[in-house]
Amino acid sequence: MIREPFGTTPEGTAVERFTLASASGVTINVLSYGGVIQSVFAPDRAGTLADVTLGYDSLDGYLRDKSYLGALVGRYANRIRAGRFSLDGRGYTLATNAGGNHLHGGNRGFNKAVWTTEPFADGENIGLRLDHVSPDGDEGYPGKVTARVTYTLTPDGEIVIDFLATADAPTPVNLTQHSYFNLAGTGVGDILGHTLEIAASRFTPVDAQLIPTGELRPVQGTPFDFTTPERVGARINDDDEQLRLAGGYDHNFVVDHNALSELVLAARLTDPLSGRGLDVHTTEPGMQCYSGNFLDGTVAGKGGVPLTYRSGLALETQHFPNSPNEPAFPSTILRPGAEHRSRTVYHFVVRPA
Ligand code: BGC
């Protein structure tokens, strides 16, 4: 494991970068800033490594970032309508940072925090524990939340991500990892030719503000049916109301679980040309599939290459957006004495031609 300085925040906090390598060839870089996965180097069929995640070369990029590239997201992944909800009979108002709604924890979410880090080795696994305390009132949320995220890299090329949180007052908590993948390699075109399979027979359609309407809609017969592998781009420009509202895929899929909290396959992504594949397993009930529709080439990523339209695909395992206002959705309320625990595994594999 390599541990090195990665600059200093404007507040004067030192940021570190960690390099973790595995026998599979998969090597990752993790930052203490935002718990960002800065890069994942993964082999193709010929064993050639490419960096398959979108990101920036320097801390400055992450300080300016508005796309959550590679970051840990909290307290609440995705949108909460008008930044408002009520809990135990009391109303709360959160910071609004996306068209009058609350997105990804607000103006200074967990992605903008410098996390405390502790590298570890556990048999053949190596990893990094990251801790962050979100104070009472943070971005409008009630209670103090203590969060721990553990990244474990296995010899087989898996990144196991464990989320743990406790709170000293009832509060919504919904944590995710916001990596954007391009299995051809970052900076190499768009992700429209990747094939995608999503283990979801339903999704949560959205309104014009990209917030779920509350409906769980069958994917069958729609461009949201990825129950069998399909190219991301095959139907993305179809004349479909949901695709129009979001400008592509930017929707929460209801992962088909046998029982809630089991680790199940949520998605399989493949770059057919290189053979690089990614399997995503999760204990979460949902996964936001976001096709990078808001990336517009105005910001430069790694190597100075513009982050262009649909150049990365995010597969964000999560509870459903806006759950604090949707009593029928699985609850995201964390209460004192309870633990929020969830696991997501990104497994980088090589698929045959
Ligand atoms: C959201 C998008 C948002 C993106 C970057 C995704 O999780 O669903 O609407 O633009 O994150 O913030």
- DSSP conformation letters of 112-156: GSB-EEEEEEETTEEEEEEEEEEPTTGGG--S-EEEEEEEEE-TT
Query: Best mutation site among 62, 104, 319 for ligand 1, i.e. most ligand atoms within 8 A of its Cβ?
Result: 104
Residues whose CB is less than 8 angstroms from the CB of residue 305 and which lie 6 or more positions away in sequence, other chains included: 186, 187
The number of residues making up the chain comes to: 353
Burial (Cβ within 10 Å: 0-12, 13-18, ≥19) of residue 119: middle
Q: What is the pLDDT of residue 259?
A: 65
Maximum pairwise Cα distance, the chain: 59
Assess contact for 85 and 140: CB atoms under 8 A: no
Task: Spot the catalytic one: 102, 178, 319, 340.
Answer: 178
Determine the Cα–Cα distance for residues 47 and 141; give it in Å rounded to an integer. Answer: 47
Determine the Cα–Cα distance for residues 178 and 314; give it in Å rounded to an integer. Answer: 6
In the sheet with 14-21, reading across from the earlier edge strand, the strands are: 2-8, 14-21, 27-31, 37-43, 49-51
Task: Say if pTM beats, i.e. exceeds, 0.95.
Answer: yes
Distance 212 CA to ligand 1 centre (A): 13
Which contiguous run of DSSP H or E holds residue 62?
helix 59-64
Digits of tens for pLDDT over the chain (353 positions)? 999 999 999 999 999 999 999 999 999 999 999 999 999 999 999 999 999 999 999 999 999 999 999 999 999 999 999 999 999 999 999 999 999 999 999 999 999 999 999 999 999 999 999 999 999 999 999 999 999 999 999 999 999 999 999 999 999 999 999 999 999 999 999 999 999 999 999 999 999 999 999 999 999 999 999 999 999 999 999 999 999 999 999 999 999 986 668 999 999 999 999 999 999 999 999 999 999 999 999 999 999 999 999 999 999 999 999 999 999 999 999 999 999 999 999 999 999 99
Residue 304, SS3 per DSSP: helix
* 316 noted as active-site residue: yes
Asked if omega into 75 is within 30° of 0 (cis), the reply is yes
Determine the Cα–Cα distance for residues 170 and 147; give it in Å rounded to an integer. Answer: 15
Assess contact for 105 and 75: CB atoms under 8 A: yes
Q: What is the pLDDT of residue 257?
A: 81
Residue located via tokens 């992504």: 269
Query: Best mutation site among 62, 73, 78 for ligand 1, i.e. most ligand atoms within 8 A of its Cβ?
Result: 78
For ligand 1, residues with CB inside 6 Å are 67-68, 78, 104, 210, 250, 288, 290, 294, 316
